[in-house]
Structure 1
Amino acid sequence: MSTAQAETTKIDPAAWRSVWAVLVGALAVIFDTTIVAVALHTLASDLHTSVATIQWVSTGYLLALGVTIPLTGWAQRLLGAKRLWIIALSIFLVGSILSSLAWDAPSLITFRVVQGVGGGVMLPLMSTIVMQAAGGKGIGQIMSVVSLPAVLGPILGPVIGGIILSHLHWSWLFWVNVPFCVVGLVLAAIMLPKDGPVRRAPFDLVGFVLMAPALVALLDGLSNAGKDGGFTRGDVLWPLIIGLVLLAAFVAWALRRKARALVDLMLLRHWPLSSSSLLLLLSGITLYGAMLVLPLYFQQLRGMTPLQAGLLLIPQGVGTFVSRTFAGRLSDRVGARWLAITGFAIVALGTLPYAFAGQHTNEVWLMAALLVRGFGLGIVTVPLMALAFRGLERAEVPDASIISRIATQVGGAFGTAVLAVILEGALKAATSSADAVAAFQGAFWWSVGFAAVGVGLSFLLPGQVKSAAAAPAAAAGSGAAKA
């Protein structure tokens, strides 16, 4: 590497302090989502309610995220990044404690919404804080660390949840967040750069009234798609139609207001951001869609417990852990295009054995396939997340964080919904164990297909992108206003 190239990737130690400060708190948010997902039947039984009602423990959290994610950029301009992070993490901490003390289903659902409000701010704000601290240098290396909770959460969360449900009361699903939150608050208070004074930040009320309900409707509709009737259900079809109409209205409104919009969609003219957001949406489909089917394959088809299924998924997390570091470094050197192409191809290769797997397929072979699949996921995720911020000015980072987070969130919801509908429809038509095997194999073929589409679309990604000359601005306050 040339001296000039080394300078562009040399990371300020202060940036690493910001990374570690936010990473600890973010672990609680990411793992909480996937830990709770495996506990719905236990919660329904212990709280004496139906699974349909207790499903709102997850749905309410998801919808709260949809409401608060668009507000993050405006709130940061008003309060500053450090203040907002501490407030959001404190809200998540309070929601976690209250959830652990819930006495019935309605109280638990309400407290999960409180958690979602805090988490919805934290997810995009985490990316904003570390990218602004990096000042355009070593983005891939930093993102390889920051993305670790996002890629490991769906894999390790079910294992942690299974262990808790096997040996402890369900309330520990939420108490486990408390140490992360407390340590995260201390680190944030000490290590995040000080904010400037609280400042006026005009609020785009019309944009919020359009965008927040649009995301809520889309996420709500997609979350119902796995039930009988799939996408033809009224509680799926109408929310999706309403969400798309509101989203189209927001796009029209935002393009008129430009930088004064709640989220500046004019940033999508920046090809690295728009192309990476498209591929992040697809990677959300690839990751979360398969993460729905994999545990069900082990539990329903092979008769394993949730904990056993979760333990068998660990190799996927190991593969992701191994690949993320060098993927981040390569991303800084060669760009995202060829890494994404390679990563999606490896994901397809690692998923393919499941498209042929039956009830008695060798578990060692299946775990080896998951190791390969996880390796590919790490290669895909890190460069795409880094690409979204390459070439942007400091003041553009908050809106880019929101756009990329929404793409990932909607992609995950869509992937889960599509594969749930495909699998549910095939299982309902199954009349024998052979038909059930074919149902799962068909769902995995769809997952392979999504990864193959990712290979093709990755050719649209730009090559190496020069970072914006934003390094001098890294010393500026994190509450910098939009231009």
Structure 2
Amino acid sequence: MSAVPTQGTAQSTVPVPFSPALRRAIGVIMIGASLSFLDSTVVNVALDTVAADLAVPLTEVQWTVTAYLLAFAAVIPVTAWAAQRLGAARLYLVSLLVFTLGSACCALSDSIGQLVASRALQGLGGGAIMPVGTIIWTRMADRSQMARVMSMVGIPIVLAPMIGPLIGGLLVKGAGWQSIFWINIPLGLVGAVLARLLLPRDDGSEAGPLDVPGLVLAAGGLVGLTYGLADIGTRAEATARSIAVLVTAVVFLVLFVVRSLRVPHPLLDMRLYANRLFSAAALTMFSLGVALFGGMILLPLYFQIVRGEDVVSTGLLLVPSGVGALAANRLAAPLTDKLGGGTTALLGGLIAAVCTIPFLFLTAGTSYPLLALAMATRGAGIGLSLTPVMTSAYRTLPAQKIKDATPQLNVLQRVGGSIGTAVLTIVLSHQLAGRTRPSGRAQAFGDTFGWVIVAAVLAIVPTILLFVTERAQRAASTAHEKHS
């Protein structure tokens, strides 16, 4: 066994190999995590088909996306308490079964009301899968293995927005919109059987009373925030209703934070942010969500609106982003161990920002190979950013605090992505207004990518903070060792 690195330092010894139990857990949980993240994007390409089949307007069908996101956001705050009370492996199994049941209900729906309700059930299961899975992984992993474990976590997070449209398009075109839900059932059942057989048994323990007021405030705030941002994204403008919902949501979340700092057993431990390294990592996670995931909505729309590509072709054209992200994600763990999380995240952020510049010059005839190269390198920056940030956040915390940190980091990433999506949707809508020619529409996308670059540059700021904080902690640790 190699030595465990000091908190905040890079690993300098031979990596500790994963135990067989950890390998099994990673394989099992990747099934549920991939299904959960893919279903947040794969449905988008089927909206027009569903609207025509169920004979309802597109504005009503949009609720199938919103309902999933609302339920997803509502369940995340309670996952830490439920994982301790029920046992993380048991909660993961239940969550995956709920998600699978919701998928079956979606596939069998013959009205928009049934479909929206089924998507909400899906979201309740899907929202808990990733936080609980991460709790299981991090409990089983040595601190020196954290970067490699987090690189596994990053795979579904990075790939889902990029390959979701392709998978959805192929399924809808080949077998109808119900197939995007039917395919979840055998995969979900296989994942559930494997979870029952292979995940470590955990009967749970005393978790204290459920903080019901805290749950109401946290879930209400996150649901309101998600709904308000989704409403803005759908309408491409901020209405009085969406603003009122967002203000109310912020008030709920502020009250939740204030209350959590005052009660002995809060739903989520806000005192984690007293740790400067965790705070820097959390801020970086939020900023990356705004800059990187928000920007992912533009290229699919460019290919469809400007280049006239269908859903399947658009999905295929987005593959280079996923390839670049996946390749860089494999490098992220060893680089994080060697250079530190802050340095690696800063490098990834710089690559993503610089490689967004070519998209400023989009035209109606921009070469597809050139676009593929730009997408691959930008995807590499994205893939290189996430793993080190999550690694830094988890390495700095005691093992018993992982359950509190996991849902918070998931929320920050999701909210950041929602904010980026809402803002860029409004910007793009205004840029496209009055532009009917392909050249003008291409310029509208190029101008909107200018906002993506601004967001990417702003996202670099917290990575610098993470870099500086890690160096300071490393220096303090070295000085302490010399005086010991």
For the criterion TM > 0.5, the same-fold answer is yes
Pick from 303, 314, 318 the counterpart of residue 309 of structure 1: 314
Written as runs of structure 1 = structure 2, the 5 A alignment for 1:84-483 is 84-196=91-203, 199=206, 201-228=208-235, 230-231=237-238, 233-257=239-263, 260-430=265-435, 432-461=437-466, 462-463=469-470
Q: Cα offset for 1:358? A: 0.6
Q: Cα offset for 1:429? A: 4.0
* SS across alignment from 1:38: helix
* SS across alignment from 1:137: helix
Q: Cα offset for 1:350? A: 2.1
Q: Distance in 2 between matches of 1:396 and 1:366?
A: 43
Amino acid at match of 2:407: I
- C-alpha contact 1:63 1:216 (8 A) present in aligned 2: yes
Amino acid at match of 1:241: V
Q: TM-score scaled by structure 2?
A: 0.92
Q: Cα offset for 1:19? A: 1.4
- C-alpha contact 2:424 2:451 (8 A) present in aligned 1: yes
Of the structure 1 ranges 168-177 and 107-116, higher mean CA displacement relative to structure 2 is found in: 168-177
* SS across alignment from 2:56: coil
Residue-by-residue CA offset, 1:375-416 (whole Å, 9 max, x unaligned): 111100111122221121121001100110000110110010
Amino acid at match of 2:243: L
Q: Distance in 2 between matches of 1:119 and 1:33?
A: 9
* Structure 1 residues 360 and 200, CA gap change in structure 2 (3 angstroms): closer
- C-alpha contact 1:88 1:119 (8 A) present in aligned 2: yes
- C-alpha contact 1:337 1:459 (8 A) present in aligned 2: yes
Q: Distance in 1 between matches of 2:17 and 2:339?
A: 16
Q: Distance in 1 between matches of 2:342 and 2:14?
A: 23
User: Which residue of 1 is the match for residue 8 of structure 2?
Assistant: none
Residue-by-residue CA offset, 1:133-166 (whole Å, 9 max, x unaligned): 1142310111111211110000011000111121
* Structure 1 residues 404 and 200, CA gap change in structure 2 (3 angstroms): closer
Of the structure 1 ranges 187-196 and 80-89, higher mean CA displacement relative to structure 2 is found in: 187-196
Q: Cα offset for 1:108? A: 0.4
- C-alpha contact 2:364 2:439 (8 A) present in aligned 1: no
- C-alpha contact 1:342 1:455 (8 A) present in aligned 2: no
Q: Cα offset for 1:185? A: 1.0
User: Which residue of 2 is the match for residue 69 of structure 1?
Assistant: 76
Q: Distance in 1 between matches of 2:442 and 2:387?
A: 34
Amino acid at match of 1:131: T
* SS across alignment from 1:257: coil
- C-alpha contact 2:85 2:204 (8 A) present in aligned 1: no
Q: Distance in 2 between matches of 1:264 and 1:179?
A: 37
Amino acid at match of 1:81: A
User: Which residue of 2 is the match for residue 37 of structure 1?
Assistant: 44
Q: Cα offset for 1:7? A: 6.6
- C-alpha contact 1:77 1:201 (8 A) present in aligned 2: no
Pick from 33, 56, 64 the counterpart of residue 57 of structure 1: 64
* Structure 1 residues 47 and 68, CA gap change in structure 2 (3 angstroms): same
Q: Percent identity?
A: 35
* Structure 1 residues 289 and 320, CA gap change in structure 2 (3 angstroms): same
Of the structure 1 ranges 438-447 and 196-205, higher mean CA displacement relative to structure 2 is found in: 196-205
- C-alpha contact 1:280 1:381 (8 A) present in aligned 2: yes
Amino acid at match of 1:314: V
User: Which residue of 2 is the match for residue 473 of structure 1?
Assistant: none
- C-alpha contact 1:97 1:178 (8 A) present in aligned 2: yes
* SS across alignment from 2:51: helix
Q: TM-score scaled by structure 1?
A: 0.92
Amino acid at match of 1:30: F
| 5+ residue gaps, structure 2 | 5-11, 475-484
Q: Cα offset for 1:290? A: 1.6
Q: Distance in 2 between matches of 1:148 and 1:397?
A: 20
* SS across alignment from 1:460: helix
Q: Distance in 1 between matches of 2:269 and 2:278?
A: 12
Amino acid at match of 2:258: A
Of the structure 1 ranges 181-190 and 159-168, higher mean CA displacement relative to structure 2 is found in: 181-190
Q: Distance in 1 between matches of 2:330 and 2:429?
A: 37
Residue-by-residue CA offset, 1:70-114 (whole Å, 9 max, x unaligned): 010111111010111111111001001111111111100000000
Q: Distance in 2 between matches of 1:171 and 1:252?
A: 44
Residue-by-residue CA offset, 1:340-362 (whole Å, 9 max, x unaligned): 11111111222211110110011
- C-alpha contact 1:350 1:369 (8 A) present in aligned 2: yes
| 5+ residue gaps, structure 1 | 467-483
User: Which residue of 2 is the match for residue 470 of structure 1?
Assistant: none
Of the structure 1 ranges 280-289 and 110-119, higher mean CA displacement relative to structure 2 is found in: 280-289
- C-alpha contact 1:79 1:199 (8 A) present in aligned 2: no
Aligned-residue RMSD, C-alpha: 1.8
* Structure 1 residues 286 and 197, CA gap change in structure 2 (3 angstroms): closer
Q: Cα offset for 1:373? A: 0.8
Amino acid at match of 1:318: V
Q: Cα offset for 1:432? A: 4.5
Q: Distance in 1 between matches of 2:105 and 2:145?
A: 39
Q: Distance in 2 between matches of 1:431 and 1:79?
A: 56
* Structure 1 residues 277 and 17, CA gap change in structure 2 (3 angstroms): same
Amino acid at match of 1:248: V
Q: Cα offset for 1:303? A: 0.9
Q: Distance in 2 between matches of 1:344 and 1:407?
A: 17
- C-alpha contact 1:217 1:240 (8 A) present in aligned 2: yes
